Amino acid sequence: MMSSDAMEPRIVVLASGSGSNLQALIENTQSVGFPGRIVAVGCNRPGAFALERAEQAGIETFLVDHQQYSSREDFDRQLRQTIDRYSPDLLVLAGFMRILTPDFVRAFHCRMLNIHPSLLPKYRGLNTHQRALDDGEPLHGVTVHFVTEELDGGPLIAQAEVSVDPQDTAASLAEKVRAKEHLLYPIVVRWFCEGRLKLAGNQVRFDDLPLREALRLPVDLNS
């Protein structure tokens, strides 16, 4: 466990859009006693609201605009160099809408988290809410996982469920899931900062025990 401020785990968050998960992370990490701090927020889209949220919170920001790079490799190299300046202990993807190259993923192996709006391994990729509705799923939700080279395929850490009601639309489901995301992500980031959560090879360890399946947090989770 890290004790003084100087030893607090350093977190870099990457976002591409509205940054509502970023906002939840900012509020949690800036509350008294949180065992880590966001040292920078990076973005690939000029004008993304996520950047404004970070600035308003007094957090350093950086922009690496993917449109300025001719290849994915060049973009990722620049992104990685920029992130490295902040010496992060943890890289948190919060709605970062880029597929990352294997080199990038390897560079942050064991210290990169993602949040995905489905109960993985169901519904990797996009349009998860509509796909869950189309399939008549009674339950849907959100997953936090370690990032590996497999898109939305890294080892699962924790999930929170929502029920799918007959009147739900993709938009209403997204809203319900989003509310769970804002609760779940800060909890998992806290666990990582406390040293309770680790990735060893491809195995998640929680409190020094191998995690056999994702931790399922109750639907009424509120802290």
- Just list the catalytic residues: 116
State CA 24 to chain mean position distance.
11
Q: DSSP secondary-structure letter at 111?
A: S
The residue with tokens 């976002």 is 15
The residue with tokens 């949040």 is 115
Strand partners for 116? 143
Cβ nearer to ligand GRF, comparing 9 with 95 = 95
Provide the minimum distance between the beta carbon of 219 and ligand GRF in the complex, in angstroms, as a whole number. Answer: 17
| Separation CA 134–CA 91 (nearest Å) | 33
Map the footprint of ligand GRF across residues 176-195, applying CB under 6 A.
181
The C-alpha R_g of the chain, in whole angstroms, comes to 17
Does 117 engage in binding with ligand GRF (CB under 6 A)?
Answer: yes
Residue of 17, 63, 82, 124 interacting with ligand GRF (CB under 6 A)? 17
Provide the minimum distance between the beta carbon of 101 and ligand GRF in the complex, in angstroms, as a whole number. Answer: 18
Provide the minimum distance between the beta carbon of 208 and ligand GRF in the complex, in angstroms, as a whole number. Answer: 28
Cβ nearer to ligand GRF, comparing 14 with 79 = 14
Does 21 engage in binding with ligand GRF (CB under 6 A)?
Answer: yes
Residue of 10, 18, 124, 194 interacting with ligand GRF (CB under 6 A)? 18
Cβ nearer to ligand GRF, comparing 139 with 200 = 139
Residue of 13, 14, 19, 51 interacting with ligand GRF (CB under 6 A)? 19
Map the footprint of ligand GRF across residues 92-111, applying CB under 6 A.
94-95
What is the signed CA dihedral for 157, 201, 73, 59, rounded to 10 degrees? 50
Residue number closest to ligand GRF, CB atom: 95
Cβ nearer to ligand GRF, comparing 81 with 163 = 163
Provide the minimum distance between the beta carbon of 171 and ligand GRF in the complex, in angstroms, as a whole number. Answer: 12
Does 143 engage in binding with ligand GRF (CB under 6 A)?
Answer: no
Does 141 engage in binding with ligand GRF (CB under 6 A)?
Answer: no
Long-range contact list for 70-79, CB < 8 A, 24+ apart? 72/99, 72/101, 73/101, 73/103, 75/44, 76/100, 76/101, 76/103, 76/104, 77/103, 79/14, 79/42, 79/44, 79/104
Tell me the CA distances in angstroms from 85 to 35, 80, 91, 92, 106, one per residue in order.
Answer: 21, 9, 13, 16, 17
**Residues in contact with ligand GRF by the rule CB under 6 A:** 15, 17-22, 94-95, 115-117, 181
